[in-house]
Amino acid sequence: MALPCRKSVTGDAKLANTELVVLDVETTGLSPRCDRVIEIALCRSLDGNVVETYETLVNPGRPIGMGASAVNGIYDADVRDAPRFSEIAGDVKEFLGDAVLVCHNAPFDLGFLGMEMRRAGVNLPSPRVFDTLRIARANFRFRSNSLSAIARELEIPTPVAHRALADALTTHAVFHRFAAELCRGATPMLDRLVAAQGGAFHFEWSQVAPGCGQDEGLSSLALPPELQEALASSRRLRLEYVDTSGRRTKRLVTPLEVYENGYVYLLAFCHLRKAERHFRLDRVVTMRFERQ
């Protein structure tokens, strides 16, 4: 039975004839309005093959937090001589063109891209988007829907996780594996894939509003897939966390809510301390579901 789908602008186009650009960014945190991009990668794909790539580190104009560096391995010294985003915005826009975008957890990457483009004074057309996270949730039953977990289950190599180009290439491989599975030997068609993700997804850059502060709300945040699912189902998570002194600690927590106050915080019941605790999400190095 076909999944319900709103009318698509893609028509009956074949995936093989469609230009795709896979996007991934690494950032100083989770809020597009308060944090900045520190690395961006783009992969142009035709007929299932990557034909061109673009990648660069980006100087965010602010320190990179310990937690972010622990996750992606990018430190202040690495970006000191890198260009500001405003210096590369034109190149990024040209590379994107009018291609169909592919991301894993698209609101995160597109939220940051949109905010950086707005700061640079560069306008982008509203893109057509495939989100491999949405496709995974709607059609498959992975133990975790994080990009690295999906790749492991599909036996897709992930040599350098949490770097932009490596993650973009992994997303590209995951997307085409999904396309092959969902079309079951038939020629992959865009409409079939649009239906598989629950309908056409058009990202409006105006969704990302400027400003940063306690009352700005959480609408622009795209939380990690494990955290989204844990909040919805009360599942427990195992966190590896960098504290204020730089030490790594491990915690078993039950997430309660996420809020923003300059940084993005998780309020959770900590089973080690037997009490509610506040965790800065940019200091979380790893996040995994507790094994049942």
Pinpoint the residues of the chain covered by CATH 3.30.420.10.
Answer: 15-207
Model confidence over 187-200: pLDDT tens digits? 788 899 999 999 98
Q: What is the CATH number of domain 225-289?
A: 2.30.30
What is the spatial distance between Cα 246 and Cα 212, in angstroms, rounded to a whole number? 26
Beta strands in 178-262 (DSSP E): 201-202, 237-242, 248-261
- Give the chain's length: 292
Q: Decide if 176 is catalytic.
A: no
Confidence of residue 220 (pLDDT cuts 50, 70, 90): low
Position 213 pLDDT exceeds 80: no
The answer to whether 239 and 282 have CB atoms below 8 angstroms apart is no
Return the pLDDT at 169: 97
Model confidence over 240-256: pLDDT tens digits? 998 888 889 999 999 99
At the second CATH level, the architecture of 15-207 is 2-Layer Sandwich (3.30)
Q: For the whole model, what pTM was predicted?
A: 0.85
Pinpoint the residues of the chain covered by CATH 2.30.30.
Answer: 225-289
Q: Point out the catalytic residue in the list 104, 162, 172, 176.
A: 162
What is the spatial distance between Cα 109 and Cα 205, in angstroms, rounded to a whole number? 12
Radius of gyration of the chain (CA): 19
